[in-house]
Chain A
Amino acid sequence: MSYEMIGITVLWIFLYGYLIVASIDFGAGFFNYYSRLTNMNHIMNDLIQRYLSPVWEVTNVFLVFFFVGIIGFFPDTAYYFGTALLIPGSVAIILLAIRGSYYAFGTYGAKDSKVYSFLYGATGLLIPASLSVVLTISEGGFITVENGKVLLHYKELFTNMYSWSVVLLSIVSVLFISSAFLSYYANKAKDFEALQLLRNYALTWATPTIIASVLVFFALNNHNPEHFQNMVDVGWMFILSLLFFLGAVYYIWKGERYGLAFVFVMFQFAFAFFGYGVSHLPYLLYPYINIYDGFTNATMAQALIIAFIAGLFLLIPSLYILMRLFLFDASYVKGETVKADDHEEERKVG
């Protein structure tokens, strides 16, 4: 495999990782608020907080990692995307900041504040929407270069059917992925009340997810037929994705094997996401940047790949420990060790 391919594969894997962990986080924020509106927050609150508190920071790093990585491997992207995305990028930062501050201030007050949990829930849907703009733009047609200046055309962006279908897909997938995962988590915690609620959410969001996916296909055919044709060429990936989706829905509907169901959801999105990625190649920004012209020098690529492998040796065991402690530790998941958590304790005292 060429350095270019290794580079983009590494980055795509990280973006996929972000897609999954961030979806869980964003969706949880929305469900947290929604259950509050419907006066059912007592059922889910603890469950969601117990999972999210130790991991939200890690979630954020996935994004930064992708971001730094793409500039490292493909410095040209910094110029084109950086110039074009000043406003959408800054909006995304501000939304992420609001979300981050919820965690920062959450231990004391923010979590009980209505306004804050609204903001937390709303950012859960707005952030995926704002980040998905980057994917939309990469299809081309929204950025032009005139007199050496990169311009982003907002009017085209906001009136385009493709961009809206991507936004829609990103939002419903977030809700679907998140509810599928939280169902699994609730089941593990033997919290059957929460499980019932979350299972309903998962089934509710399954249909819109698939409708939105189909919509994206059609819209892309209109917008960038060349890319669409490439997608048809790797059509088997999307068919596999659909099969995994059906499998996941089947188990959630039957109410058994939630773990397997979530693994199926992960495969569903993996195949769709990598299918999309493969067919997008060689372009990073159609038609201005492709992975070959925009690639960094060979020495730096080598250094980055070595650093990446060394970093994985550090990260994988660490992530394993984290998951062992907070995801697969039965008594923690059930909340039996929550008394060890100072924050919880203080909230009761205070």
Chain B
Amino acid sequence: MESVEFSRYLTMLTLSVHVVFATVGVGIPVMIMLAHWIGLRRQDEHYLLMAKRWARGYVISVAVGVVTGTAIALQLALLWPRFMEFAGQLVALPLFMETFAFFFEAIFLGIYLYTWDRFKNPKHHFYLLAPVVLGATMSALFITSVNAFMNTPQGFTLMNGELVNISPLLAMFNPAMPTKVAHVLTSAYMTSAFVLASIAAFHLLRGNRHEYHRKGLALTMKVGFIFCVATALVGDLSGKFLAEYQPEKLAAAEWHFETEGEAPLVLFGVLTEENEVKYGIKIPYGLSILVHSNPSGVVTGLNDIPEEYHPPYVIHYLFDIMVTIGIGLTVLSMLYWIALSRNWSFIKTRAFRFLLVTTGPLAMLAIQAGWWFTEVGRQPWIMRGFMTTAEGATDSPHVWIMFIAFAVLYFILMVGTAVVLVRMFKKNPVERELEKLADKQRSVAR
């Protein structure tokens, strides 16, 4: 294999690891903020403790996120030097601003974590979360805009190999940016909520009946549902966007070959050698409705796109995984919410709780599938229409060694993170912490 293949795999590996931590890195501060706010408003120490415990686990994921984030930042230039040389002139601004946002977040996160008892007015401590949330959100926005640029480059003119008429703001606010950023943010909030819900559900499943876990589950599932709906709405807009700007990606995702009206939406299935879909579930008019909000709207098919620009057809499965999980989680969290308000007791059964435990991992899987879909779906381009992946890669013959080294590193990091997180909360269960709080209050009262 050549360097370009290994460069692709190494980038994929680093990003797949990073996105786990980046997603919770964006979403969990919002959850901490919510819990902290409810705790302060209701004077409920359960929620305050929730914020505290989430924050403690969050630190570990941030630390690993910083490590993998530094890795990808450097790897971009190490593995794709020609691309960075070219794109550096076009998207340096959002890249630069992303580090500012992250800087800002890092400073205030450090302060928030180490000042739980240092402010006389507890609200002042709470306010420290605002810059953390803002920083996390802004860094997601900036870095996603860079990725969006690679999908729909604009803000420059290429004349005889020279870049002219460069406009950094136009490059940043490219057509793919709004839907991409919105989808990344809503799905990150959704995933983080479900990850935390999984933990609460796990404790309940194991037979712990503490009110703390019930409150935690109710809060996270409700937030999860709200962001499920938001994610789905934005996802619909993303589909419409694809049809207009990257028809080849949408067509490959849907195995849609003939350009036609009344196009059906294909779920699952397998593709034969003659490019026919077998065993798939066809939803008549589905694709036309998705794209044009009109059952007879014409959707471009792959046959009208030169074959060398076809993305790998395998992205269909990734698209299916993402959408199926998304719909499943929406239904599940809605069911939970309704049942909770109506006092239906089936949500207390072991089977249902088991389902709730799976929500976090499933949401994370959907995130991975979604990113793989969007990234593999723009092959063969690294910058759509301007530079192919092969043109952007390094010449260095040593990439495969680095691939192995990083694979080992990430494996250790992932296992280590899991072990540390589990140990951290096992050693110090909620009950003990609440007891300690009570002791403290008693000693004050005396």
Contact = CB atoms under 8 A, between A and B. Distances in A.
Interface string A126-137: 000000000000
Contacts of B409: 94, 97
B78 A89 contact: yes
Contact of B103 (A61, A93, A94, A343): A61
Contact of B74 (A55, A75, A93, A299): A93
Contacts of A96: 67, 70-71
A149 interface: yes
Contact of A94 (B92, B106, B405): B405
A342 B118 CA distance: 12
Contact of B93 (A300, A322, A342): A300
Given A65-B103, A68-B99, A90-B405, A104 B92 contact: no
A72 B66 CA distance: 21
A71 interface: yes
Interface stretch (B55-63, B278-286, B366-374): B55-63
A83 B106 contact: no
Contacts of B82: 79
A82 interface: yes
Contacts of A72: 88, 92-93, 95-96
A82 B111 contact: no
Interface string A78-98: 111111011101101110110
Interface in B394-446: 394-396, 398-399, 401-402, 405-406, 409, 412-413, 416-417, 420, 423-424, 427-428, 432
A59 to B, nearest CB: 9
Interface stretch (B162-170, B185-193, B197-205, B248-256): B162-170
Contacts of B88: 71-72, 75, 78, 296
A310 to B, nearest CB: 8
Interface of B: 52, 56, 59-60, 62-64, 66-71, 73-75, 77-82, 84-90, 92-93, 95-100, 102-104, 106-111, 113-118, 131, 163, 166-169, 394-396, 398-399, 401-402, 405-406, 409, 412-413, 416-417, 420, 423-424, 427-428, 432
A82 B93 contact: no
Given A54-B110, A78-B77, A85-B78, A68 B70 contact: no
B408 to A, nearest CB: 9
Nearest to A62: B103
A92 B75 CA distance: 11
B117 A340 contact: yes
Interface stretch (A169-177, A215-223, A234-242, A313-321): A313-321
A52 to B, nearest CB: 11
A85 B402 CA distance: 12
A225 to B, nearest CB: 30
Given A296-B92, A349-B428, A337 B117 contact: yes
A109 B426 CA distance: 14
Nearest to A98: B409
A89 B74 contact: yes
Contact of A71 (B67, B77, B97, B424): B77
What size tier do the contact residues of chain A reach?
35 or more
A304 B99 CA distance: 12
Contacts of A64: 69-70, 73, 99, 102
Nearest to B402: A90
B399 A86 contact: yes
Interface centre among A76, A87, A101, A110 (most CB of B within 10 A): A101
By CB atoms of chain B within 10 A, which of A55, A61, A69, A337 has the most?
A61
Nearest to B10: A90
A314 B101 CA distance: 9
A109 to B, nearest CB: 7
B166 A297 contact: yes
A101 B74 contact: no
A101 B84 CA distance: 28
Given A54-B114, A97-B409, A104 B78 contact: no
A322 B131 CA distance: 13
A321 B64 contact: no
Interface string A328-350: 00001000010111110010011
A246 interface: no
A92 B103 CA distance: 21
B63 A75 contact: no
Given A303-B168, A304-B96, A350-B427, A150 B395 contact: yes
A63 B169 contact: no
A196 interface: no
A160 interface: no
A242 B164 CA distance: 48
A54 B402 contact: no
A96 B75 CA distance: 13
A263 interface: no
B102 A61 contact: yes
A285 B261 CA distance: 57
A314 B108 CA distance: 12
